[in-house]
Amino acid sequence: MGGPSAEREVSLDSGRACAAALREHGGYNVVEVDAGPDLAGVLADLKPDAVLNCLHGRWGEDGCVQGLLEWMGIPYSHSGVLASSLAMDKQRTKDVYRAAGLPVVESVIAAASNVRTSHVMAPPYVVKPNNEGSSVGVYLVGEENNGPPQLDDDMPEFVMVEAFAPGRELTTTVMDGRALTVTDIITTGWYDYDAKYKEGGSSHIVPADVPVEIFELCLVYALKAHDALGCRGVSRTDFRWDEAKGAAGLVLLETNTQPGMTATSLSPEQAQAVGVSFPDLCAWMLEDASCSR
């Protein structure tokens, strides 16, 4: 848990919550490891039977720590090297979605310097890093904006520019080869980092009150995305749905191979809704651990 990414604090929360849940479940000797440059040495000393990966963002979610664990022969949870790396690259994820017949919006990779000086596509559009999660570094450029976005200096050299998909924010978790349910995420504005993680930033309706056709499509699309990317364990796929367009208004945004794992996070909420308690969910993820994922 923890680690050096922009999502460090979220990862620490996930790790603490999962550790507490596993202790509550019983039967496990749980050690919490804040991942740093000495991670390989720490793991070599600990000699764990398995690793429950609660890292979010770069290095923990992009295949890096998965490669280390494969090298050391330590079974671990969630997706393997290839699926993790692929799903963390938003543009390549879209390529996989398209190949699998899944609906997405137009997007391009552009130099941040160009994005700062001119509109690289007609507004409204979204600018985001191509390989970060948790809505880190996301800019929404509306038609009413006077000009292109003034991106922060810490944005990467190249960014994704994506056509804005209007509508409701929906999400579906896949666990053990099954799409669990659909959540409707309610916010007063953009579903940004604060809306995701600060108290009162958003509310969740589980199961989502949407037409049966849309609900079923979310389940089908999430499982298809999970399989097309080669995910393992638990994943969560996010959607936008434009009600005015019906089924044609449902598009995939991204698949999270390391969803948030506090007791009130979206995936644990969905597991609870289908009868899987948070301690049981954590135990399942741990028991599902393996190498060569």
Which residues participate in catalysis according to the annotation? 7, 134, 197, 236, 238, 254, 256, 260
The C-alpha angle with vertex 206 and arms to 203 and 208, in degrees rounded to 5, equals 95
Q: Give the N- to C-terminal CA distance of the chain in Å, as an integer.
A: 20
Radius of gyration of the chain (CA): 19
**Residue 46: Cβ within 10 Å count:** 12
Residue pair 65/54 in contact by the 8 Å Cβ criterion: no
**CA–CA distance, 11 with 17 (Å, rounded to integer):** 10
For 90-124, the DSSP string reads HHHHHHHHHHTT-----EEEEEHHHHHHS-SSPSS
Q: What are phi and psi of 36, to 5 degrees?
A: -135, -170
